[in-house]
Chain A
Amino acid sequence: MLLDYIKARDMLGRYGISSVKSGYVDSPEQAVKFSEGKPLALKVLSEKALHKSKSGVVKLGLLDPDDIREAFSELSSKASRLRPYKILAQRMAPPGVEAIIGGRKDPQFGQTILLGMGGIYVEAFRDFSLRICPITRYDSVEMIHQLRSAQVITHNGKSEKMLSGLLLGVSRLLGEHPEITELDLNPVIVREDGYEAVDLRIIEE
């Protein structure tokens, strides 16, 4: 069962994992207000459309209030067949490197944690690292270094430390929540001075 987005975000927050500012909006005006003059993304969340981008119910990079209103109306009409649904507004994260952090409950070994860098590397080259939870700091650093695409993120020690801390947080969360069967932070945008999970999904038994 898919956990509600805001509940999932709050659960991650309790483990120190930050994600982009998000909130449900019920009207075009609420969406405009949420933007506060900063670029916005609008997404339809529904059990019937687990692949949001494939279902065409995502609008990115909305800045102008009229564009926001129009996008809201368009999504609402598209989403009518996906009832019940909610519309999530998110601030756009500043650009950075994309990472994927995931969790999966292995039938043999229990919770496992996965790290991959930059979309294409994971998809095309199957470049990811995997560990059994709980992981230690040593494991988290090894997970980063094991990636062939490690250089795209480890150009400085600071971002490596940040990513390592993020992995430890996810591992702790998975360890304390055995009911989670799958977890996806995809993508996480990583910059030199910070990161945000942009999309997240937690599936429970």
Chain B
Amino acid sequence: MLKPRSVAIIGASRNPEKVGHVIFKNYVNAGYPGRLYLVNKSGEEIEGTQTYKSILDIKEGIDLAVIAIPAEYVPAAMEECGRAKVKTVVVVSGGFAEVGRQDLQDKMVGIAEKYHMPTLGPNCLGVMDPRSRVDTLFLPTYKLSRPSIGGVSFVAQSGAVGSTVLDMISSEGFGLSKFISYGNAAHIDEVDVLEYLLDDKETKVIILYIEGAKRGKELVKIARRISLVKPVIVLKGGKTFEGQQAAHSHTAALAGSYEAYLALFRQFGFTIANDLSELLHYAKIFSSEQQPSGPRIAIVTNGGGAGVLTADAISSSSFLKLGKFSTATEKTLRKSMPVLVNIRNPLDLAGDADYLRYKEALGAICGDGNIDMVVAIALFQTPGADSKLAAELIRIKGDSKKPMVVLSTGSDYTRMHKIMMESSGLPVYDSPAAASAALEALYRYSEYKKAKKQGKDPH
């Protein structure tokens, strides 16, 4: 489904407003290298491309059929897919269990099982894989930017949350491995998707948006295994009673008790996000694949106030603490820093600090055994902070074993450097709270894995 050699779009249309047209255009725009077939019951040509009246008319084998036709015609189209020996199916059409047509959905699942044809959806966005250039999303590329290639895979029950987050990911420095929106989970559900991603080598980090699980016990089993292998960040929709009501009419999900879900995620080392922006903050730090040795933080800054606020954020975490520099580090810093720099953590390099001062300071701190992680605050509004500083921070992060994040708040000039650093795998945050939360998540996950792997706690 994610690496198909041939794709058929059932319901491809000439009408640019139809879902089937957008999906076709997206495949063309993405430069999908495999064979693309269009199926349309009228058999009309679409933008010079031949169409077939039925998938049965296509002579070659089809790896993936994307179905985008009204719900009532879906079972018949699936039956034809089965007879044409199609390998996998994505049903993007809505109009099934989520609007009370459980009968149509059951029919669909019956056909999928009869032909052993893994089927995603219905009522979903489908899949996207920037490596294979598969893109079943019916949202035009000029409206929804597509992320670059990376290691983060995103599993979303809701199509709308999925597309929003995808759009946000596209402006982040980390890229996407797979996007899977599974909608009503009629045949393939979150457990199947997580099992796949657990073994997928291209996936380093998993983001999960879930409202309700169909197979709770199976979810517990995969949860137990998955975070020992790769970090999973989860956002659970349907928190309140009202929220659960909405979940039911929305994706026909059975939102279980919110507390039990949180218990499950916490118990098995998932990182719990409370909103969409937290999802991205956590995805960013985990995709940088850094390993902390402990909870002690050093802060280096070119703005005193920003240093204080960050120290406050770190101190209010129940897991992180400010580290104390070793005497050797203090000695080195005293020699290399101007006299106006107070040698303590947070280390305020002063407003005139340039990349060389950061280089000296961070060089000493990165070699300090009393420090586990580093927050480098770089306010690009100051005279000394320029592209050389961004480049220096990238270099230091590359050389050092200690996890490092950058805190930069600002407008266009800052944003330019943020992109520069993030595309080199150096996470940049714009608030002390976000930076602190990200480091805490990284630390807690590493502690969880350590406790489990040391065999102190065999399951």
Contact = CB atoms under 8 A, between A and B. Distances in A.
Interface of A: 106-110, 112, 129-132, 135-139, 142, 146
Contacts of B263: 112, 129-132
Contact of B457 (A106, A108, A110, A138): A138
A131 B266 CA distance: 8
A104 to B, nearest CB: 8
B75 interface: no
A106 B257 contact: yes
B449 to A, nearest CB: 12
A106 B213 CA distance: 13
Interface in B231-264: 254, 256-257, 259-260, 262-264
Nearest to A148: B318
Interface string B256-283: 1101101110110000000000000000
A107 B256 contact: yes
B251 to A, nearest CB: 16
A71 to B, nearest CB: 40
16 contacts: A106-B216, A108-B213, A108-B217, A108-B256, A108-B257, A109-B264, A130-B262, A131-B266, A131-B267, A132-B220, A132-B260, A135-B267, A137-B456, A137-B457, A138-B452, A142-B267
A110 B215 CA distance: 11
A107 B220 CA distance: 13
B459 A136 contact: yes
Contacts of B30: none
Contacts of B451: 138
Contacts of A108: 213, 216-217, 219, 254, 256-257, 260
A164 to B, nearest CB: 12
Contacts of B458: 136
A168 to B, nearest CB: 12
Contacts of A132: 220, 260, 263-264, 267
Interface residues of B, number: 21
Contacts of A138: 451-452, 456-457
Interface in B407-459: 451-452, 456-459
A112 B457 contact: no
Nearest to A107: B256
A112 B217 CA distance: 12
Question: Sorted from nearest, which 4 A-B pairs have the closest CB atoms?
Answer: A108-B216, A138-B457, A130-B263, A108-B256
Contacts of A130: 259-260, 262-263
Contacts of B254: 108
Contacts of A112: 260, 263
A109 B217 contact: yes
Given A136-B459, A138-B452, A138-B457, A109 B259 contact: no
A139 B456 CA distance: 11
Given A107-B256, A108-B256, A109-B220, A136 B264 contact: no
A88 B458 CA distance: 41
A129 B266 CA distance: 10
A55 B17 CA distance: 67
